[in-house]
Structure 1
Amino acid sequence: MAGEADLRPLIALVDESSKMAGVEFSTLYLAQHIDRSRYRVVVICPEEGDLPARCRAAGVEVVIEPAPRFMSTSIEIGRVYVPNPLSWGVNLLRLIGLASRHAALYRRLDAALICTKGVFAHLYGTLAARIARRPAVIHMQDLLANPLYIRVFGTFARLARRVIADGTPIRDQLAPFVGADRVDLIYNGVDLEQFSTAVSGEGVRAEWGIDSDTVLIGNVARLTSWKGQDVLLKAFIRLAPDYPKTKLVLVGSPVFHGDAFEAELRRLAAESGFSDRMIFAGFRWDLPEVLAALDIFVYPSIRKDTSPLSLVSAMASGLPLLTSDVGGVAELLTHTEDGLIVPAADVNALGSALRQMLDNPDLRQRLGAAARRTAERSLSLSIFARQCESAFERAKL
């Protein structure tokens, strides 16, 4: 009847950023695929940007709740992240104020459950949920490295009813604080029709000037030091003289960081003598077509990654995969069955595995087909969404 109250519970997905990176794509995917016959969904963002725009385009309700700019809790010195003590006091005051505003928003929306996305959102979102007396679920997709940060975050995590971890390392990191029975291991998922072997990459290859005889090696990830693109670049430079019909493309941008690392990558390329065979493609929205354009996908993270969406997308696209053994990345694959796994930050090992793939097209075909089957079996968006809904239901008990 017209005017009848909508009794479906409202799930509020609280994201700390409006820029698109892996966490934000996960937010978008979950918002799109939550069972609308059972739930309503709203995405709460700190400002206008790509995430709210894409949510609205998908028919997902968006609320903008402005947030102060939080100071980085660590400073990168070389390749080492060290704590930034000044940030703690400043961020705490800002966090308390933001949590108060979010608590009022949750009451006003009559949200049945809060799901936080992003480290700072976990902090202010769970605090706000406790103030508003709403159950909260932390969807944790960041593996923390500093012991102090782990203890602080673990304390806040106790405010949540449940934690969703997108990799075993995160589950093991948080279980001592909240209890293993309150942590759900749920890998990221992707649309298996959007990412598939049926997608054509010919247009992208033509755009990049890649002919059909060239083997295109690629990586898709945020350009930041811990993603290990420099390791891939160095490995490619070493093998380039022996494989003249190969090219390398790096797809991504710094997003949340400065461009110093990207500048270093470009310097390495320029000094190698092979810069004409390397492409810096920047951020791309047409990821299915970009992946379809590749012949080999390499994910060389050197620390803390869990179940990155670009890797899952490459699996669904049926690409032969070469990954490092860092974090939860390696648990998505079985070495030599649906991918090759090498030690992290090891240029020689990465180069050797690349040579193995370049020398053996049959191996590439077999690994790619197996990766697709793995994605179909356990990494679809429908599986991801249903598992998240189950975690939400357990949190409401």
Structure 2
Amino acid sequence: MSEVRLTFLGGPTGARHLLELSGTRILAGCGLFAGPDALWRRNFSPVPDELHALDAVLLPSADLGHAGFLPQLVAEGWHGPVFATPGTAALLPIALSDAATQFTEDALAAEAGGWAGPGPAVPPFRAEDVSQAVALVRPVEYGTLQELGGVEFEFGRAGGRLGAAWVRIRAGGRSVVFAGPLGAAEHAWLCPPDPRPRSDALVLAAPSPACDGHLAGRFAAAVHRAVNRGGSVLVPAPAVGGEGLLMMVDELMAAGKIPKLPVVLDSPAGLVEQVSDRPSIVVAGLATADSGRVLRHLAEMLPDPRNGVVLLGPSAPGTRAAQLASGTRQLKIRGRYVPVRAEVTALGSTGEFAGPAEVLAWATATPPPETAFVVEGEAAASEAFAKTLHAEAGWCAVVPEDGERVLC
């Protein structure tokens, strides 16, 4: 059997897993880091030498945490094949182009405002980098076996996001499955995950807490509280993947559970310059609240106690969204501290993604791997799920260190 080397390069917020087998190097996930300045600055570091020697990149989804580093990798000279499902391939230009625009606007504002630091402010990537990157993408249908330099791989449905996939890679009698956040089995309009295939190793994203089933009611309550105060509601959301939020808002209004308010979609689909004085629901990216158009809205709305901010889904550690969720009383935005007087409501899971019990059931429905690696989550959540896999299924489950290399 061939020796398989696996290196974890992504930390808690950017999925980058380097697999070396049969003389072939494949990167599963090519994510952008989000969080504290020390982590964010790694998006600007030169691409490591081992990534310049990649034979291919496999993208689990169009989310920035899975695909946002691709434009920089390409800008630094790598031009190999990038494989993704047709859904991810279709969404990728939208997600990356929107992010490039927002990052560029942030860099220009930082330079003009004088808070860029000792050097010039630059975005992680630009629009021209996105064009080069998406030109390399080759769509692959779910369940279609592909061959690359003696290595086979296939995508399976992961659920949770349009086009999202788990991927199995195998060569020389060994196989590894990479599974990012899995979708909930009973979601109203997203397909459930395909069953886990057998593998010698499993790289699995730590699950977020399960949805409590009262998301719509708690969202409606937050809207009513803001409207009763005469304020508006701001919802940080991604450029792609926010379809569920808009559907929920539409359904609540149609059922008379929230007032029929203007919905301001500050995105490529519905860009606006300013919010009206009347109560509104404002949806703007990025979801982490670390960059993009949402910063302007936060700066305007946070100081006013009439307003509300609703955080959907888990917040990546160290991001502004996580700071708001933890109850911070001030937030630094574009060089200035802004007081947080608006009501902040963190709703947790939005129902698209599977909770710990569902992920455990998915993982253990197939014979165990030799080793499971729990990634892409806060340290406490990852450690807790690794302990669950050990205690309830008897698995060898590990939370790898950033940069750790293992044999599997």
Q: TM-score range by the shorter chain?
A: 0.3 to 0.5
More helix by share: 1
**Which of structures 1 and 2 has the larger relative contact order (alpha carbons within 8 angstroms, sep 6+)?**
2
Q: TM-score, normalised by structure 1?
A: 0.36
Which has more strand, going by share of residues? 2
TM-score (norm 2): 0.35
